[in-house]
Amino acid sequence: MSDFNLGFVIFPGITQLDFTGPFEVLSRLGTPPSLSVPSKFPDVKTHVVAKTLQPVSSDRGLAFLPTDTFETCPALDLLCVPGGSGLMEALADSELVDFVGRQGRQATYVTSVCIGAFLLGAAGLLKGRRATTHWAYVDLLPLVGAIHEEGRIVRDGNVVTSGGVTAGIDFAFSVVAEVAGPEVAQAIQLGIEYDPSPPFDAGHPDKASAAATSLMVQRNESSHTAIRKALEKRAARGVP
């Protein structure tokens, strides 16, 4: 029996780093805090969950093999939902949304990366909650009953949402620190040499040039419109 079940929901068109960033950190939860102290979670089990066990391709063509289906996945202690360009189709997949809702209502931690927040919202898990998502989509959060709060990581109760793509790595460290202790989180950080020093300080509209921001707004426009329509369609049918 696992002493901590981690579950990552994947679907066609996910953004791989939304998934693999927190996966890399959280899957190391069994790291001991020191040479003399044993791990608090020596039997962590990581589940990669999809509709079937067939390979799932990311929005850049990288394929992943699920370990569990919606039917075989055990009760999760932590649920993580990534985003990606396949989100619109995922929102229309009632089996996927039902699985997220079912697991999210009993999990200790309910988490999302980037626009994966809208799958939590579609499952009814963000109603009245403070939340965040990718900066280009934060205005859509009220469509799932969420209250947008500025922040790379936003926590409301047991729900932890994070901003775009790389923010998933940071939220994962914050959860590890809470669950296993800061010593474990710091050991994992050192182990994967997470010491970011990007050549440009342009990772948020507050810092990026006007030209870069305009470009990214335009490139996200069609996806933004599609997600809005998908959420409004769900609302018109009387679902979250």
The whole model's pTM is what? 0.96
What is the share, in percent, of the chain residues with pLDDT greater than 70?
Answer: 99
pLDDT of residue 64 exceeding 90: yes
- Give the pLDDT confidence of 76-95 residue by residue, as tens digits: 999 999 999 999 999 999 99
- Give the pLDDT confidence of 90-103 residue by residue, as tens digits: 999 999 999 999 99
Of 39, 74, 13, 50, nearest to 176 by C-alpha is 39
In this prediction, residue 237 carries a pLDDT of 82
C-alpha pair distances (Å), 9 with each of 31, 185, 205: 23, 23, 29
Q: How confident is the model at residue 235 (pLDDT cuts 50, 70, 90)?
A: confident
In this structure, how many other beta carbons lie within 10 angstroms of the beta carbon of residue 32? 16
Q: Which two tokens stand for residue 77?
A: 């202690």
In this prediction, residue 240 carries a pLDDT of 65
- Give the pLDDT confidence of 142-194 residue by residue, as tens digits: 999 999 999 999 999 999 999 999 999 999 999 999 999 999 999 999 999 99
Q: Which two tokens stand for residue 171?
A: 């939220």
Total number of domains in the chain: 1
Q: How confident is the model at residue 114 (pLDDT cuts 50, 70, 90)?
A: very high
In this structure, how many other beta carbons lie within 10 angstroms of the beta carbon of residue 196? 9
Backbone angles phi, psi at 69, to 5 degrees: -100, 175
Cβ neighbourhood burial of 186 (10 Å; 0-12, 13-18, 19+): middle
Residue 138: give its domain's CATH number: 3.40.50.880
Pairing mode of beta strands 63-64, 56-57: antiparallel
Active site residue 80: no
Which residue out of 6, 87, 114, 125 is catalytically annotated?
114
CB 124 within 8 A of CB 240: yes
- Give the pLDDT confidence of 15-32 residue by residue, as tens digits: 999 999 999 999 999 999
Q: Which two tokens stand for residue 197?
A: 């020093």
Domain residues for the domain of 132 are 4-236
pLDDT of residue 116 exceeding 90: yes
